[in-house]
Amino acid sequence: MKRIVIADDSATARMVIRRCLEIIGLGDAGMVEVPNGREALARLKEAPTDLLVTDLNMPIMDGETLLKWVKGSPKLTDVPVVVITSAGNPAKEALLSDLGAFAVLDKPISPATLLKKLEPLMQ
Amino acid sequence: MSQNFDELVRHSIAVTLENMAFMEVLPQSEETETDAEDNMSARLLILDPLQAEMVLTLPVRLLTNIIDVVHAFPEDDVVEQIRSDMLGELLNTVAGRLLNDFLPGNQAYRLGLPEVTLEQPTVCEGPSRTWEYDVEGEPLALTIVGTGFFPEDGEPA
């Protein structure tokens, strides 16, 4: 993977995600960190992106809305989206999957859980 | 008090700190006492499907240690800037973990935004309980307030 966009309003959460990505072998990817969905969309349009990792609850544009925008855009629809949230449950996970999320993970994430979900994309 | 709920609380904190900062959560011992003035707290409202408030309190020293691990020893001025963010994210994650384990499988929930303070925050009135732990020799306390978790008799719903 060459470019990964990480969207979370918490700098701490973004750092945890970044470190997990580095630990599972994606440290060479260019990582772009943004605090909300609207900025994520802007950065996704700047350059081809291999993965979007997003929080669900964010100001300005939340993760669910971001996911809808990405999957509704012909230019971005192929970008795999991983949603990481502290407010997940099976019903929400099913909804996000229906909307096109590649994976939904509960916080706190660990390198092991992230690797398990991302392995198909890394091969 | 339900031992199961105690375990859910402990598990939510342990998983959060182990995954985020590789830190072990132990039962509190007498050696982990600290001055209240060294503490920082964050509070968070649970809005739906039950109403309650959670308060996480820990010494600035421990918070700084967690930041050092997560952010790989940032400069001191950066540490000061991200203390609130770190504490809020810790509480947010603990709350989400606890509600995921406590509520029936398909039940959605809604959280407020964490508020961080250097003083012991004023919280909602109602039945409450506090759980205290030892993390790397420092105390960490989680208080839950409200009838959402403790309806009538102080026992978890």
- Are the C-beta atoms of residues B60 and B80 closer than 8 Å to each other? no
A60 vs B: CB within 8 A: no
Q: What is the CATH number of the domain that holds A79?
A: 3.40.50.2300
| Interface touch A10/B92, C-beta < 8 Å | yes
Determine what percent of chain B is predicted with pLDDT higher than 70. Answer: 87
Find, among B121, B119, B111, B122, the residue nearest to B52 by Cα: B111
Domains identified in chain A, total number? 1
Question: Would you give per-residue pLDDT tens digits along chain A (123 residues)?
Answer: 899 999 999 999 999 999 999 999 999 999 999 999 999 999 999 999 999 999 998 889 999 999 999 999 999 999 999 999 887 678 888 899 999 999 999 888 989 999 999 999 987
Q: What is the pLDDT of residue B157?
A: 57
Place of tokens 């820990």: B58
pLDDT in tens, B97-114: 999 889 887 788 888 889
Which residues from chain B sit within 8 angstroms of residue A86, using beta carbons? 92-93, 95-97, 111
- A23-56 pLDDT, tens digit per residue, is 999 999 999 999 999 999 999 999 999 999 999 9
Contacts of A11 in chain B (CB under 8 A): 82, 85
Residue A95, domain extent = 3-122
Residue A71 touches chain B, beta carbons under 8 Å: no
Is A21 in CB contact (< 8 Å) with chain B?
A: no
Nearest-CA distance B123 → chain A (Å):
22
Q: Which of B70, B96, B105 sits opposite A86 (nearest CB)?
A: B96
Please, which pLDDT band fits residue B2 given cuts at 50, 70 and 90? low
pTM score of the predicted model: 0.84
Could you tell me the pLDDT band of residue B31, with boundaries at 50, 70 and 90? Answer: low
Q: Which of B42, B46, B38, B44 is nearest to B64 (CA)?
A: B38
Q: How confident is the model at residue B32 (pLDDT cuts 50, 70, 90)?
A: low
Calpha distance A30→A17 (Å, rounded): 13
Amino acid letter, residue A54: T
